[in-house]
Amino acid sequence: GAVVSQHPSWVICKSGTSVKIECRSLDFQATTMFWYRQFPKQSLMLMATSNEGSKATYEQGVEKDKFLINHASLTLSTLTVTSAHPEDSSFYICSARDPGRDRAFFGPGTRLTVL
């Protein structure tokens, strides 16, 4: 069964609103989670690395004030897209690294459409 969940699986919002996406590790504690973005017909690109109890590390070109990441517990990381615009429409996927199994598991993804 799924070991990483994401909620919601899809969301449609109006331009200018904020959207929060949750990523949960279900059967292990994840000190590190990763947020990826995938535009249609493209590959996954790392946006940021989320560390429990500390600030996220953002990749070059990703606006930290626009994509707020909070990793408040060992099983939950959230990504908030603030003041969303149509160009933010994408597929957002999280992954959580399981140190016990030395690999990361992916959530099912969240499809965001900004009108």
Partner 1 sequence: AQKITQTQPGMFVQEKEAVTLDCTYDTSDPSYGLFWYKQPSSGEMIFLIYQGSYDQQNATEGRYSLNFQKARKSANLVISASQLGDSAMYFCAMRVEMGSQGNLIFGKGTKLSVKP
CB of 15 to partner 1, least distance (A): 23
Question: 16 or 108, CB closer to partner 1?
Answer: 108
Measure the CA–CA gap between 81 and 21, rounded to whole angstroms. Answer: 8
**Strand pairing of 4-7 and 19-25?**
antiparallel
Helix (H, G, I), strand (E, B) or coil at 86: helix
Given the rule CB under 8 A, which residues bind partner 1?
Answer: 32, 34, 38, 42-46, 49, 51, 57, 91, 93, 95, 97, 103-106, 108-109, 111
Question: 16 or 45, CB closer to partner 1?
Answer: 45
Measure the CA–CA gap between 22 and 70, rounded to whole angstroms. Answer: 10
CB of 91 to partner 1, least distance (A): 6
